[in-house]
Amino acid sequence: MATFMDAGLLGVAAPLFAFLLFFIITYGLLTKTQPFGDQKGLYGLVAITIAFLILLSDAATILLLFMTPWFFVLIFIGFFILFILMMFGLKQEQLTAGATAEMRTWAIILTVVILLFGLGQVFGQSTLEAGSGDELPRETVEEREQGVATDDFGTNVLNTLIHPQVLGFIAIMLVAIFSLFLLTKTQVD
């Protein structure tokens, strides 16, 4: 029985949304950077061609459909943070979102994290099943004893992330990163 919240037709229209999104992003980047001068017709043709070629790739479409909601959530959270700040007295002239290097750095970091999770979602299990091509066994005795190597990609990633050696490495890297930020920060008097 069909309900009001039935999203079955959205799955059919997903390739259309992917095509439009790739076209809009490509056309916007080309018109912004203008690598061939002021030729909007050429940019439109290139954008349609790239969007069509990417649409032919199932992996690229699945990657886009995985990443898009996460970017929407980030933009939605940013909008509501600005809304709350303006509700409590921040003026529109004081808004400098994205004007500082720190904001751009965090945007790049979050984009890379979302991209890595998307690549893991799209290619992880198929890469695990394909193997490395070596004739050696896929898992060593040590990995089997520690329960790191399984037949499921998600379980392997989780087991790797909570492994004591990886957690120790992450802790050392966090200390190094924060030390670097705090030692190189300039003092404003």
Same structural domain for residues 67 and 101? yes
**Mean pLDDT calculated for residue range 93-107:** 73
pLDDT for residue 5 is more than 50: no
- Same domain as 83, residue 123: yes
Q: Of 5 and 129, which is predicted with more confidence?
A: 129
Count the Cβ atoms, other than its own, within 10 Å of residue 124.
16
pTM, rounded to two decimals? 0.61
> Same domain, yes or no, for 108 and 127?
yes
Q: What is the pLDDT of residues 120-157, one digit of tens each?
A: 888 876 776 666 555 545 555 555 555 566 777 777 77
Domain membership of residue 32 as a residue range: 13-56
Check the CA dihedral 110-112-113-118 and report its sign. Answer: positive
Averaged pLDDT for residues 154-173: 82
Which tens digit of pLDDT belongs to each residue from 19-77? Answer: 888 899 899 999 998 888 888 889 999 999 999 988 888 888 888 878 888 888 888 99
pLDDT of residue 81: 85
Tally of domains in the chain: 3
**How far from the centroid of its chain's Cα atoms is residue 1's Cα?**
35
In this structure, is residue 19 part of a structural domain? yes
